[in-house]
Amino acid sequence: MSEPIEFLEAGALASVLTPDMPGRTLDYRVPEGGIRVGAFVSVPLGPRRVKGVIWGPGAGDYDPGKIREIGTVLDVPPMSGTMREFIIRVADYTMTPLTAILRLATRVPGLGDPPGKRRIVRLTDERPTRMTDARERVIAFLDEHEGMGFAPSELAGLVGVTSSVVKGLEAQGVLQSEAAPRDAPFPMLNPDLPSKDLSADQRHASTVLCDAVRSRTYGTTLLKGVTGSGKTEVYLEAAAECLRAGRQVLVLLPEIALTGEFMARVEARFGAAPAEWHSGVTQAGRRRAWTGIAEGRARLVVGARSALFLPFTDLGLIIVDEEHDSSYKQEEGVLYNARDMAVLRASLSGAQVVLASATPSLESWVNARAGKYARLDLTERFGAAVLPEMRAVDLRVDPLERDSWISDPLADAVRTRVAAGEQSLLFLNRRGYAPLTLCRACGHQIGCDDCDARMVEHRFLNRLMCHQCGATKPIPVECPACGSADHMAALGPGVERLAEEVERRFPEARMAVLSSDITMSARALKQRIEEIANGGADIVIGTQMVAKGHNFPLLTLVGVIDADLGLQGGELRAAERTFQLIRQVAGRAGRADKAGLAMVQSHQPQHPVIQAILGGDEEAFWQAEAAERQAAGAPPFGRMAGIIVSGPEERETFDLARALAARAGVLTQAGAQLFGPAPAPVARIRGRTRVRLLVKAPKGLPLQSVLARWVEGVVPRPNYRIAIDIDPQSFF
């Protein structure tokens, strides 16, 4: 979209937003020649120089005698008005300071540096023989910017030391110098290479999406299609149309689905590789992608959640694949849902959004039903591939043996597959060896010292681990409570324990475990998944990460070890999550020319959710879920915010929460309800107490402004925090 060029004349005041000064803008004097609003600049801040964005005319609230002049204008395209608007709207929606959102939007090393030639230094493991204050500051700064390299003069400037300090550290081997690679250009993508021959359903969906893209207006479409129905083929055609129109395309995937296989597919369609943005991309790669996107040279970007904050110049299409995936919700720092923010960004850019999923989120399903989103359905798998048969294994009829988690019918099915050279996937959404370590003499359960979570045994590590804070400790021989020796027992299964059973029962089979806590780089993990997809294992054991959009062509059997697991705990999204997860996992089976079978082990196969999973009457399931949420006034029919109050002392933390509760009148007068305070699901984490409040409001209420007024009246002491989570994913 074109926007009015805002320009500030020399000598005027400009407000600058910089991630280095949280929560507010700073006024500076505009230098000779004037400056564009949105320009990236370097400005003096105390003894340092920091980077920021010209946000608008100065606020004029600072002593005119102390106003300093803007330093240099960085050599990158100015931030567009649309992008500034997006940042403001996300900050408002998530109730987060603007600077925190700006940080998301400028997370790129060496912003504005000329490409190529520059020499950078990085921290090594060496430490100086004699530590000085200046040296310590340099090391601390680099520590904070984990692994990032800086030009020596830039580093000295940023830390506020002389360049001789940096030189000295280099001479001692504490810093090591290297040449930053020159940015390679982005290859042209060709949208007119031959596409696959689409089926009638696929062609219809593709035509509708392409028309929408050509309209250059905002719109969101839910593309619902069973796994393997060709959603990817269809949205790649919409991407092609967007490229033809000369606009940019963003494909968002859950981090784990960003596989080489997916990149290869995109490359095959367009004749060249797209830009990538995810945790596996190197610093140099990030810089290249960021600048390429800002200059409009990178036209197709495939990325994870945070790619939404890249500086697109003319975004015409955003695809959110596996839109129901809970990893789109960022749960730390800025609490945002990339799916919802994608819709916001598109509406500001006159762009189309495609939300693709086999099992959409209830929110999207309801939005489609209400006509806010368009909806396209692909009901059949492409070609010969048919949907897997779903079969329940009633564990009351086929009970498990002691310390065994695979029933006989499932074991038989696995054996048949192994003999036929086909793959089986055993799905258990529980990491580690055993979820519980307990003393058989006194019943004591080993918990984390810093959280109120139980410690999970990890045999690969030979330690107990807390899944909340990551703390580990050795597996005790004696009970820490009663002192009796050799009575500690592991209870229940995790994937590691399941792996033990598989080794015992299928010694001839090659086995692979895919669990998110297996310490592997994102890249190594992707490679491992590809090996498995190419036949590198007979039996795959996996947690929920295997549910996410990867093709396993040899896979013909999926065994769900414990379908009841997700239904415990009374969590409001439990049914939706279980339904999505198991349907997704089952969808991994029988993708190629062989029919698949999904066996679902359950103690309560008559449970409505399990029945919906087995019967596959998805619309009926969503209808029922929607009705239940509507009756409860829960999202998406009402609005919710979770408030987490945290601090080092339990008493004071509860006092702070009660101080908020005492002001509930502000909420109730506006028509909202307050629940709590109550201990958060994890009431203690990393030694901090966490207390939770829940605010429920009718749909039309301006929730954020009401919350702001409510929270305003309570000022936490240092080290105590009030964090607001709009649209929380979990409600307890």
**Site size with Zn ion, rule: CB under 5 A:** 14
Region 370-429 residues binding ligand ADP, contact defined as CB under 6 A: 382
3-state secondary structure 575-607: HHHHHHHHHHHHCCCCCCCCCCEEEEEECCCCC
Minimum gap (Å) between residue 686 Cβ and Zn ion = 7
Long-range contacts at 607-614 (CB < 8 A, ≥ 24 apart)? 607/564, 607/567, 608/575, 609/567, 609/575, 609/578, 609/579, 610/392, 610/563, 610/564, 610/567, 612/579, 613/390, 613/563, 613/578, 613/579, 613/582, 613/583, 613/586, 614/390, 614/391, 614/392
The count of other CB atoms within 10 Å of the CB of residue 179 is: 10
Q: For residue 472, state whether it binds Zn ion (rule: CB under 5 A).
A: no
| Of 99, 104, 103, 96, residue with least CA distance to 723 | 96
Q: For residue 442, state whether it binds Zn ion (rule: CB under 5 A).
A: yes
Minimum gap (Å) between residue 207 Cβ and ligand ADP = 14
Q: Which of ligand ADP, Zn ion, none does 482 bind, CB closer than 5 to 8 A by kind?
A: Zn ion
Minimum gap (Å) between residue 382 Cβ and ligand ADP = 4
- Determine which residue in the list 124, 207, 468, 729 makes contact with Zn ion, applying CB under 5 A: 468
Q: Which is nearer to ligand ADP, 230 or 494 (CB)?
A: 230
Inter-residue contact 693 to 645 (CB < 8 Å): yes
Q: Which is nearer to ligand ADP, 45 or 302 (CB)?
A: 302
Q: Which is nearer to ligand ADP, 436 or 592 (CB)?
A: 592
Q: Which of ligand ADP, Zn ion, none does 199 bind, CB closer than 5 to 8 A by kind?
A: ligand ADP
Region 611-640 residues binding ligand ADP, contact defined as CB under 6 A: none
The per-type count for the chain, helices as H runs and strands as E runs, is 20, 31
Inter-residue contact 353 to 320 (CB < 8 Å): yes
Inter-residue contact 341 to 561 (CB < 8 Å): no
Q: Which x/- pattern over 188-227 shows residues binding ligand ADP (rule: CB under 6 A)?
A: --------xxxx--x----------------------x-x
The whole-angstrom separation of Cα 509 and Cα 526 is 22
Q: Which of ligand ADP, Zn ion, none does 198 bind, CB closer than 5 to 8 A by kind?
A: ligand ADP
Strand ranges (DSSP E) for 124-173? Answer: none
Minimum gap (Å) between residue 437 Cβ and Zn ion = 11
The count of other CB atoms within 10 Å of the CB of residue 103 is: 17
| Of 555, 426, 398, 429, residue with least CA distance to 499 | 426
Q: Which of Zn ion, ligand ADP, none does 444 bind, CB closer than 5 to 8 A by kind?
A: Zn ion
Q: Which of Zn ion, ligand ADP, none does 231 bind, CB closer than 5 to 8 A by kind?
A: ligand ADP
Q: For residue 439, state whether it binds Zn ion (rule: CB under 5 A).
A: yes
> What H or E segment, with its residue span, contains residue 42?
strand 40-45
- Determine which residue in the list 171, 482, 520, 620 makes contact with Zn ion, applying CB under 5 A: 482
Q: In sequence order, which residues have a C-beta less than 8 Å from that of residue 77 and are 6 or more positions away?
A: 294, 295, 311, 313
Q: Which is nearer to Zn ion, 283 or 468 (CB)?
A: 468
Q: For residue 451, state whether it binds Zn ion (rule: CB under 5 A).
A: yes
| Of 723, 709, 635, residue with least CA distance to 670 | 709
The count of other CB atoms within 10 Å of the CB of residue 264 is: 12
Q: Which is nearer to Zn ion, 35 or 466 (CB)?
A: 466
Q: Which x/- pattern over 25-54 shows residues binding ligand ADP (rule: CB under 6 A)?
A: ------------------------------
Pairing of strands 597-602, 389-394: parallel
Q: For residue 673, state whether it binds ligand ADP (rule: CB under 6 A).
A: no
* CB-based burial, 628-652: b 16+ in 10 Å, e otherwise: ebeeeebbbbbbbbbbbbbbeeeeb
The whole-angstrom separation of Cα 258 and Cα 321 is 11
Q: In sequence order, which residues have a C-beta less than 8 Å from that of residue 523 and are 6 or more positions away?
A: 280
Inter-residue contact 313 to 294 (CB < 8 Å): yes
Q: For residue 330, state whether it binds ligand ADP (rule: CB under 6 A).
A: no
Inter-residue contact 220 to 353 (CB < 8 Å): yes
- Determine which residue in the list 183, 394, 450, 652 makes contact with Zn ion, applying CB under 5 A: 450
Q: For residue 493, state whether it binds ligand ADP (rule: CB under 6 A).
A: no
Q: Which is nearer to Zn ion, 450 or 500 (CB)?
A: 450
The count of other CB atoms within 10 Å of the CB of residue 68 is: 12
Minimum gap (Å) between residue 551 Cβ and ligand ADP = 6
- Kindly report the backbone phi and psi dihedral angles of residue 661, in degrees, each rounded to the nearest multiple of 5, phi listed first: -60, -35
Q: For residue 479, state whether it binds Zn ion (rule: CB under 5 A).
A: yes
Q: Which is nearer to ligand ADP, 358 or 641 (CB)?
A: 358
| Of 388, 397, 396, residue with least CA distance to 427 | 388
Minimum gap (Å) between residue 235 Cβ and ligand ADP = 8
Region 227-266 residues binding ligand ADP, contact defined as CB under 6 A: 227-233
Q: In sequence order, which residues have a C-beta less than 8 Å from that of residue 215 and are 6 or more positions away?
A: 352
**Site size with ligand ADP, rule: CB under 6 A:** 14
Q: Which of ligand ADP, Zn ion, none does 229 bind, CB closer than 5 to 8 A by kind?
A: ligand ADP
The count of other CB atoms within 10 Å of the CB of residue 375 is: 17
- Kindly report the backbone phi and psi dihedral angles of residue 249, in degrees, each rounded to the nearest multiple of 5, phi listed first: -125, 135
Minimum gap (Å) between residue 479 Cβ and Zn ion = 3
Inter-residue contact 594 to 627 (CB < 8 Å): no
Q: Which of Zn ion, ligand ADP, none does 450 bind, CB closer than 5 to 8 A by kind?
A: Zn ion
Q: Which of ligand ADP, Zn ion, none does 259 bind, CB closer than 5 to 8 A by kind?
A: none
Minimum gap (Å) between residue 442 Cβ and Zn ion = 3
- Determine which residue in the list 53, 354, 448, 575 makes contact with Zn ion, applying CB under 5 A: 448
Q: Residue 289 is encoded by which pair of tokens?
A: 């992608």
Minimum gap (Å) between residue 202 Cβ and ligand ADP = 5
Q: Which is nearer to Zn ion, 393 or 469 (CB)?
A: 469
Please name the residue that has the structure tokens 């963003």. 250
Q: For residue 676, state whether it binds ligand ADP (rule: CB under 6 A).
A: no
Taking CB under 5 A as the binding criterion, the range among 228-236, 390-398, 448-456, 510-518 that sits at the site for Zn ion is: 448-456
User: What does the binding site for Zn ion look like in residue numbers (CB under 5 A)?
Assistant: 439, 441-442, 444, 448, 450-451, 466, 468-469, 471, 479, 481-482
User: What does the binding site for ligand ADP look like in residue numbers (CB under 6 A)?
Assistant: 196-199, 202, 225, 227-233, 382
